[in-house]
Amino acid sequence: MFNKNSVGKDGIETVIGPSVKLEGNFVCQGGIVIEGELKGSVKTAGYLEVGERANVTADVAAKEARVGGEVRGNIRIDGYLEVTSSAKLFGDIEAAFVSIARGAVVKGKCSILGEAKNTKNGTPKIKEETAVNSHD
Amino acid sequence: MTNIYIYDQELSGRRYQKLLERLETRLTDLGIGGKIYRLAPMTRLESALKDELAKKPKTIVAVGGDALISRLAGLIAGTRIPLGIIPIGSSMIADGFGITTENACKTLAARRIVSLDIGRVDGQHFFVCRAVITANNPSLILDGELTVEAEGKALIEAVNITGDEYGYLGAQPLADDGRLNAYILKTEKSLLRKDISQSAFICKQLEIVKGAIKVELDGASEIKGARSIEVVPGLLTVIVGKDRKF
């Protein structure tokens, strides 16, 4: 009866603006944009964007992500993770595909996930494991 | 069962006489005339309606602006009596429901009845569209789990339903999803300009821990010292227009 497309443009459902702090274990189905501060954990079945001025102290899980700010915690992305040149990541990364721009700071282990559906027990197969040091 | 029409007190002047006569004729032609209550400045809406609500009228119709519509919605919430609207002047609520002064009589006759969520403040004050909290260094708890803090002055809008012209980020508020959209609007000053930054969340309940100065409901009434804002799913029954915006 009503417009059931309740998710916003580009699937974004939640926005944490600059000078806003969120604390807790945040779980949602739609996309998330973080421009402010977040502490705790964040998990979404959708897209995650961490802006240049964002400060995240949390374990992060999302379907796809673009990170340009600071993240202190482990990151697990089912699909593509784009780390831009302004990003500072302190923690382990797991993703199916990763691109890291020149100038980004990445301190932690980076694992490339295999196709989970092709494994017998359903657990993701790790194709490659690489230690990535700071690029600066 | 009869239709009850509640006229806003502002409609008692000569300015609205011709318009009201025209509307009354149209309602009679459509066979949906009914009992009319004209609110006077000192009339208490609750006491005026108490006996009528007990008789379970077919429809309660607000004839006026958002203040009256919002108050009536709060009074009949949970009774399953449909709320009809004949907006006079600008009305955010009627606009969202796709009702104008011109199509209101036809909309009432068509009786497209839907159950919608309603917002509730501190368990007793209701709003149809949105509650706007003026706050300073606010701290909120969403759904009892997430703490949200903002620095400085901020407007916090808890939105149940609205049209899509308000420029909110994130998911569009829906009238029947059992959720509120909470927005934090802040003015960010830089050297050359001011920008409005926006945060958007979805929740069922938000608790105002600190910083609230006042809460405005549907742009019509104002309360102070509010602590809790929640959505109550499906509590309001409304006759809506076919051009509603949600």
Q: Would you list the domain boundaries of chain A?
A: 12-132
pLDDT in tens, B138-161: 999 999 999 999 998 999 999 998
Examine the pLDDT at B15 and tell me if it is beyond 60. yes
pLDDT score of B166: 66
d(CA B206, CA B218) in angstroms, rounded, equals 17
Q: Which pLDDT score, from 0 to 100, does residue B164 have?
A: 57
Kindly state the average pLDDT of the residues B192-213.
88
B147–A18 C-beta distance less than 8 A: no
Contacts of B135 in chain A (CB under 8 A): none
B167 touches chain A (CB under 8 A): no
pLDDT, chain A, mean: 84
Interface mutation vs chain B, best among A20, A27, A39, A48, most B CBs within 10 Å? A20
Provide the percentage of residues in chain B whose pLDDT is more than 90: 65
Q: Per-residue pLDDT averaged across B171-186, rounded? A: 90
ipTM score here? Answer: 0.83
Which domains are present in chain B? Answer: 3-119 (3.40.50.10330), 125-232 (2.60.200.40)
From chain A residues 19-78, the ones with a CB under 8 A of any chain B CB are: 19-26, 28, 30, 35-36
Cα of A68 to nearest chain B Cα, Å: 18
Which residue is listed with tokens 């910083």? B211
Instruction: Tokens for A94, please give them.
Output: 């797991």
pLDDT greater than 50 at residue A111: yes
- Residue B191: the pLDDT is 66
Residue B201's region, left for phi above 0, alpha for psi from -120 to 50, else beta, is beta
Residues A62, A67, A72, A75: what is their CA dihedral angle, to the nearest 10 degrees?
A: 30
- Please write the tens of the pLDDT for every residue from A120-134: 454 444 444 444 545
Q: Give the residue among A115, A109, A85 at the shortest CA–CA distance from A97.
A: A115
Q: How far is B153 from chain A (nearest CA, A)?
A: 11
Question: What is the average per-residue pLDDT within B78-102?
Answer: 92
B155 part of contact set with chain A, CB < 8 Å: no
Instruction: Find, in chain B, the residue whose alpha carbon is nearest to that of A16.
Output: B199
User: For residue range B99-134, what is the model confidence (pLDDT) as tens digits?
Assistant: 999 999 999 999 999 999 999 999 999 999 999 999
Answer whether B138 touches A (CB < 8 Å). Answer: no
**Predicted pLDDT of residue B165:** 60
Query: What would the pLDDT profile of A22-73 be if each residue is shown by its tens digit?
Result: 999 999 999 999 999 999 999 999 999 999 999 999 999 999 999 999 999 9
DSSP string, chain B: --EEEEE-GGGGSGGGHHHHHHHHHHHHHTT---EEEE--TT--HHHHHHHHHHT--SEEEEEE-HHHHHHHHHHHTTS-PPEEEEE-S--HHHHHTT--TTTHHHHHHHT-EEEEEEEEETTTEEESSEEEEEEEEEEEEETTTEEEEE-SEEEEEEES---STT---SSPP-TTSS-EEEEEEEEEE-SS-EEEEEEEEEESEEEEEEEEEEEEETTTEEESS--EEEEEEEEEEEE--TT---
What is chain B's mean pLDDT, rounded?
90
Residue numbers in A near B114 (CB within 8 A): 1
